[in-house]
Amino acid sequence: MGLAGDVVAATTLPAPALDGLRQALDEFSRKTSARGRAYAEQRRVGEITVTSGAVHATVRGTEDYEVIWERAEGAWFPSCSCPVEVYCKHAYAVAWSLLTAGETRQTSAVRAATAPVDSGALRRFREATHTWERQQAVWQLLAPLPREGFDLYAATSEILAEPDPDLRCWQLARMISGRANEWLPDALEPFRERPDLAARAAERARHELARDLAVWAGQPRRTAERRLRLVFGLERRAGAAALTLQARLTTPRLIDVPRSATQLQQLRNELRYDPALLPPEQAALLCWLTDYGPGSVDQHALRGEHWLPSRWLLQRVADSALAAWDDALPPDLATRAGVQPRAPVRFSAWVTGRRRFTTLEPRRQS
């Protein structure tokens, strides 16, 4: 068994990881901390293996115990094969040995899962013009890192296309440290904390957004492909006159075709996926018809000249292109109502007592 006194600098862990390990020791009780330091001083800690996100060692106690310190999301968590299992003196001894070895710079016995980084890999990553050449350089930079569960190409595909070599290195450093518990190849350490490059990337993103918005604003506006309108009619029913209301649709293939309630609902569903299908005021009319309309032909009794439809509908269609009289009105009923075929539908309101009535506004007689 190797001895803790042979362990020196934890050069395989970045400074943030070492700081986190020191903070983790504060979670141990005072008694456990004292016993753990004594174990370290008695050289009971064996050979320490350091990887990008874990520390492994064997500690000699009543028997040999296996200790593992694992790092996740910047925090360290210990475990041990002893009966205590967590936050025991054995785990403290391993962390203490690793940290003090880095401070005292004794002879190294740490078997780190890293390898010397070829500085030429970074140069090739910066200077290569083809993405496949840059990818090969990334593989060389990441050679010391275990690749299980780490999709190199998927993680770096966008980075490889970055034209700015400084931003490319900075983005690669951020990606690696985020996926490897802040471990970085030595060649990328200068790009770990680079507020200047972060500002450069943010400024470029703003310019690209402004450019895209300018292109979008310069594009011709799309014209609605369909038109919806209401057609009012008059007909005789049971010896009396009745008012009919029909929704009609015009498309590139249909011209002023009546639509049933089911067809209007289908059009409403299409509108959800394509809001530009109808002009805004016609889209609002369609929503009202599908929410409140009783069907494709909305009929109301016409008592003299008084009709009581929805006030919302009247406000929408009155004196607008949304509604017109049918071109095939019975002449006698049209004369009686004072309306003309194809003419805009006009309404007027009057109040009696506390009730508000809406009436068809007859054509003025000359």
Under the banding of pLDDT at 50, 70 and 90, the label for residue 5 is very low
pLDDT band at 146, cuts 50/70/90?
Answer: low
pLDDT confidence band for 78 (50 / 70 / 90): very high
pLDDT mean across residues, the chain: 76
Name the residue among 99, 60, 58, 94 with its Cα closest to residue 78.
94
Please tell me the predicted confidence (pLDDT) of residue 348.
55
Contact yes or no for 234/297 (Cβ under 8 A): no
Mean of pLDDT values over 1-15:
49
Of the ranges 4-8, 54-58, 110-114, 299-303, the best mean pLDDT one: 54-58
Encoded tokens for 108: 């190294």
| Confidence tier at 349 by pLDDT (50, 70, 90) | very low
Distance set, CA 107 to CA 97, 104, 205 (Å): 13, 9, 49
- The helix/strand/coil state of 253 is coil
Task: Tell me phi and psi for residue 326, to 5 degrees.
Answer: -60, 150
Report pLDDT digits (tens) over 297-337. Answer: 333 333 333 334 556 566 667 667 788 888 888 888 888 87
> Residue 150 carries which DSSP code?
-
How would residue 59 be classed by pLDDT, with cut points 50, 70 and 90? very high
Identify which of 315, 337, 340 has the alpha carbon closest to the alpha carbon of residue 328.
Answer: 340
Structural contact between residues 45 and 6, judged by C-beta atoms closer than 8 angstroms? no
Question: What tens digit of pLDDT does each residue of 147-195 get?
Answer: 444 555 445 677 888 888 999 999 998 888 877 777 788 888 889 888 8
Distance CA 323, CA 311 (A): 15
How far is Cα 111 from Cα 253, in angstroms, rounded to an integer? Answer: 76
